Amino acid sequence: MFNWFKKRRAYRLGRKAGGMICEEIENHITARVIPASQRFIDVFRERLTTIWDEPPSPPNPRVRLHNEWGIFKENLDKFIAERRAGIIHTYKFDEAIDPIRTDVNDYISHRMGTIESEMFAESEPLIHQAISEIKRRESGTTNGL
């Protein structure tokens, strides 16, 4: 009968430890990763607003936009990988929670995947705006964004 009490107590302690780990990771993401991701998007936004101000030389703005999108995706992959590795490195968990290390890594990977998806969703309208601006400038109309 006392084994049941021990198991229940261990279960509660495990849930509490897991909650504390997730809370710490979320605090790190909120304090560091989210602001860095916003700066990352801001740099991309700024780059897209200056794409047509470059000297008129080959490649044309459409090709430059395509190149910028490719660079953005490549850098985003690196950004997410570095932030994920930073979280894992920052929170080196002791041997007591080794059995759940895979779960913690999966949790971090899932959260970083969510952030990456949000960044893609935020960058998509920027691409559409840039395409619209390029079309507007190529057609010679004067109404702005």
**Averaged pLDDT of the chain:** 81
pTM: 0.73
Backbone angles phi, psi at 126, to 5 degrees: -65, -40
- The pLDDT of residue 22: 83
What count of other Cβ atoms lies within 10 Å of the Cβ of residue 21? 17
pLDDT, average across residues 81-99:
74
Domain ranges of the chain: 20-139
How many angstroms separate the CA atoms of 83 and 76, rounded? 10
For the residues of 84-119, what is the DSSP string, one character each? HHHHHHHT---GGGGGGHHHHHHHHHHHHHHHHHHH
Q: Are 87 and 108 in contact (CB under 8 A)?
A: yes
Query: Mean per-residue pLDDT for 122-138?
Result: 88
Instruction: Flag the least confident range among 63-72, 82-91, 136-145.
Output: 136-145
Stretch among 4-8, 9-13, 81-85 having the lowest mean pLDDT: 4-8
- 18 vs 120, higher pLDDT: 120
